[in-house]
Structure 1
């Protein structure tokens, strides 16, 4: 039988939310263990080379990988934080034990509180030949280029004009890859106009109300047929275009990675505005399973800035529930909630605000 590791707060996921939670909880005096399935913590921040917006509190002006390094340093320099890399959480059980696999061993952990910060996975879309070599998710392309220094191809069709699609398109161009076009099924660009403007100034067309009909090629992608959509989102015959590309990159959204929340029997609810099934939780981010908190994209897909603030709030809340911080913790909770409200106050945050309102609506039945 493997030895059981006892810890005050266990955090599953070492991305922006998980690292922020760890630092916040440890600063209040709690002992923290972070499980990270990759070889290095940081999550999506590791491969983000663009500068962040917002305020200094959300690291405005710093690039994603720089923010990741700052959060890693904060945790590494705090004796209250332990980080296990190359370790994957397997399950959260009725007796409070969490199992994991790491370094070829089966591990058992008994935390007093648990924070799930597992992030999100990329969505795919269906079209003929969507399994051909040369078709990637945008996150995979970022990892290839910004972590491993490998370009995916020579000429790319980007599907999706949200922030991820726009940012990765610009990073492809910076790496010397031609972007043939960005297509977006919606009638308007979903990302920030500052990102779209950079793309357009470089001569790349952004085609709204367009979709992909099919990919084609012999052994890998050689091209794609795209077409225009009508107001009912149906293809308009005769509007097809043939784009010669060797890469098709999908930036069509993310889905919260909530398998552990389902397995832990948290009460869940499908909320489209939050990108899928998410756990019901209190203002302090505690789920319907007492002592289990969520933070970041697992609680509803947003920007990394919001994930870091949610992580901080979950870390403070978990530590406060163990008796750390007292009045100081209550004040920090209020500050984090105010910061989240401010982040979500603009047009880009309205979808999240609507989603949270639906989530909290007692009238609607949960799944």
Structure 2
């Protein structure tokens, strides 16, 4: 058994920011991630971030990852364990970790769950044909390994991920055959959508995928028009030839570890699924467990980073070792979150948080 003061599960933007808060404090920390690198989704993101200086505005995602990783590298109080999967977390404050052929046990006084989210799938006929990708897979291929999936791609989903990946495909010389969106309005930032429209990318609003066509590989996709209440209009279908289809229809919080600890959770559609009820310090109903990032509700990476800082500060206070600037920092990071959430694009998140309650949104 190895003992730590704090264990952070997840090394994406939220987990890295939590670790940054803890880096220069007199506490022992384990940061564990199943990938073989830190940074999570940031390392795949080549677009520049919006927002304030505190939100790393004007930096690209992979640049932000480098900044945060450099801030915690070589800190004597932080142990980093990569390529490791947390198999379980238990009520006696023990976690079990599988790394290669080793089985490790750690015990901690506080846990910060920053496990992020998984991509949602879309059900349609032949959705297992080769040539059908999730947006994260295409980002990994292009931005980590320099490989384009095909020379033409049809995108499903007009949220920020779908719009940004479409633009990245165009930059890589791939023809984007169009963007298929079930809703009547574009879900992502207008600035991203406008760039695609100027480049001639067609938008198929109020449409969804009916079936994929092909024998051994994707050759075409049949799309169908939807009514305002999302029912298919059987006589209004179109065939779009494409060699690849990218699915970007949202994310679901990876909250299984929180479920194992039986913390209070609610299903909130606007936040992506089952999420924990948190207080003002991102503390769950179990006082030893904190949560931050997409596991506590799907938001932008900028929000995940602010939430990571708050969770780190909360863990320090729980250990009765509060940061010397605790009150000032908590106020500042919550203010940054409010700015992000009260933009026109944060309305959905804000509505979900008010339904969830807890923290600054408690009734």
Provide TM-score, normalisation by structure 1: 0.95
Residue ranges of structure 2 left out of the alignment (5+ in a row): none
- The CA RMSD measured in Å over matched residues stands at 1.3
The residue that corresponds to 1:214 in the other structure is 211
Moved more, 230-239 or 265-274: 230-239
Q: Which of 300, 305, 309 is the aligned partner of 2:302? A: 305
The residue that corresponds to 2:62 in the other structure is 65
- Deviation of the 1:29 alpha carbon: 3.4
Q: Alpha-carbon deviations, 1:85-123, whole Å to 9, x = none?
A: 111111111111111111321011111110000000000
Query: SS at the partner of 1:330?
Result: helix
**1:315-326 aligned within 5 A:** 315-325=312-322
The residue that corresponds to 2:72 in the other structure is 75
- Deviation of the 1:323 alpha carbon: 2.5
Aligned length: 359
- Deviation of the 1:327 alpha carbon: 5.0
**1:141-290 aligned within 5 A:** 141-290=138-287
Query: SS at the partner of 1:240?
Result: strand
Q: 2-side partners of 1:326 and 1:304: how far apart?
A: 24
Q: 2-side partners of 1:276 and 1:354: how far apart?
A: 14
1:7 aligns with 2:35: no
Q: Is the 8 A contact 2:45 2:62 kept in 1?
A: yes
Moved more, 228-237 or 345-354: 228-237
- Deviation of the 1:329 alpha carbon: 1.4
Q: 2-side partners of 1:84 and 1:303: how far apart?
A: 26
Q: Is the 8 A contact 2:46 2:61 kept in 1?
A: yes
The residue that corresponds to 2:128 in the other structure is 131
- Deviation of the 1:59 alpha carbon: 0.7
- Deviation of the 1:270 alpha carbon: 0.4
The residue that corresponds to 2:26 in the other structure is 29
- Deviation of the 1:190 alpha carbon: 0.3
**1:335-354 aligned within 5 A:** 335-354=332-351
Q: Alpha-carbon deviations, 1:114-152, whole Å to 9, x = none?
A: 000000000001110011111111011100111111111
Q: 1-side partners of 2:228 and 2:306: how far apart?
A: 38
Q: Alpha-carbon deviations, 1:144-170, whole Å to 9, x = none?
A: 111111111121110000000000001
Q: 2-side partners of 1:339 and 1:264: how far apart?
A: 30
Q: Alpha-carbon deviations, 1:175-214, whole Å to 9, x = none?
A: 1111000010000000000000111111101121111111
Query: SS at the partner of 1:336?
Result: helix
Provide TM-score, normalisation by structure 2: 0.96
Q: Is the 8 A contact 1:48 1:65 kept in 2?
A: yes
Q: 2-side partners of 1:354 and 1:196: how far apart?
A: 24
The residue that corresponds to 1:365 in the other structure is none
Q: Alpha-carbon deviations, 1:214-245, whole Å to 9, x = none?
A: 10101010000112212121222332111110
